[in-house]
């Protein structure tokens, strides 16, 4: 008889299963100390981490600002200190003072150019006579006409900014007097102090911008010398 046949006939197949089962620990046998610690650590790694993460997510506070929060919160911050009744007047005065500082900046710039005998580059006329070559005397007259025109345009702009300053100052005075009548002294003092601070910041901004422009164009006052004699060979 074949040995394999005798194994099947004698029911040796259960004996093989018995060998496999003997490699497993019987359910009734107690866990050793090391096995108990290993099982607890595995359970914690599989289940504890998601629960901990969920807890932290619920209690976390974002340090990023809300998406709809404005970048410039100057008005909101000021509104806390200024009574809501006088806040519109504060905004009007701040806007008017902003315009006044700008007008003063342009007027001062042009006045300094006038004292130095200069004109802004944008006012320098560069035209040439058409169809003829002028002799030296007429060419000199042409150049003088250019210089006179540039100076006249500069003076017109100075008058414009002086008029603008006067008009804005009258508006500021009117709104300030109304504020003094309606608002208590501490509110008036606070509003004027904040406006003065805004004026200083605006003046610094304009001066910095002018200085950078001068450095870029290579001029000392942002202007230039009187126009050069025109090129008589260039058509108008």
**pLDDT tens column, 216-226:** 766 655 454 44
Region 132-154: mean pLDDT is 90
**Residue 207: per-residue pLDDT:** 92
Please check the confidence at residue 36 and state whether its pLDDT lies above 50.
yes
With a pLDDT cut of 70, the percent of the chain lying above it is: 58
**Residue 57: per-residue pLDDT:** 39
Region 160-177: mean pLDDT is 97
Please check the confidence at residue 96 and state whether its pLDDT lies above 80.
yes
**Residue 213: per-residue pLDDT:** 83
Greater confidence (60 vs 133) lies with: 133
**Residue 38: per-residue pLDDT:** 67
By C-alpha distance, which of 88, 96, 110 is closest to 164? 96
- What residues form DSSP beta bridges with 224? 119
Distance CA 88, CA 98 (A): 15
**Residue 77: per-residue pLDDT:** 47
Map out the domains of the chain as residue ranges: 85-224
Asked if 188 and 180 touch (Cβ cutoff 8 Å), the reply is yes
Predicted confidence (pLDDT) per residue in 179-210, tens digit? 999 999 999 999 999 999 999 999 999 999 98
């Amino acid at each position: 008889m074949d040995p394999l046949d005798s194994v099947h006939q004698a029911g040796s197949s259960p004996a093989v299963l018995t060998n496999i089962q003997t490699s497993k620990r019987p359910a009734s046998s107690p866990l050793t100390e090391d096995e108990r610690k290993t099982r607890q650590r595995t359970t914690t790694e599989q289940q504890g981490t998601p629960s901990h993460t969920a807890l932290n997510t619920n209690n976390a506070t974002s340090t990023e600002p809300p998406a709809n929060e404005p970048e410039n919160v100057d008005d909101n911050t000021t509104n806390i200190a200024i009574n809501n009744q006088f806040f519109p007047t504060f905004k009007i005065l701040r806007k008017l003072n902003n315009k006044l500082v700008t007008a003063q900046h342009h007027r001062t710039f042009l006045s300094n150019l006038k004292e130095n005998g200069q004109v802004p580059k944008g006012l320098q006329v560069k035209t040439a006579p058409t169809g003829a070559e002028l002799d030296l005397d007429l060419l000199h007259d042409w150049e003088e006409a250019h210089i006179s025109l540039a100076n006249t345009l500069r003076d017109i702009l100075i008058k414009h900014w002086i008029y603008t300053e006067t008009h804005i100052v009258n508006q500021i005075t009117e709104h300030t007097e109304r504020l003094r009548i309606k608002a208590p002294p501490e509110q008036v003092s606070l509003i004027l102090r904040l406006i003065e601070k805004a004026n200083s910041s605006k003046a610094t901004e304009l001066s910095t911008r002018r200085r950078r422009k001068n450095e870029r164009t290579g001029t000392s006052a942002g202007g230039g010398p009187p126009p050069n004699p025109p090129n008589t060979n260039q058509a108008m």
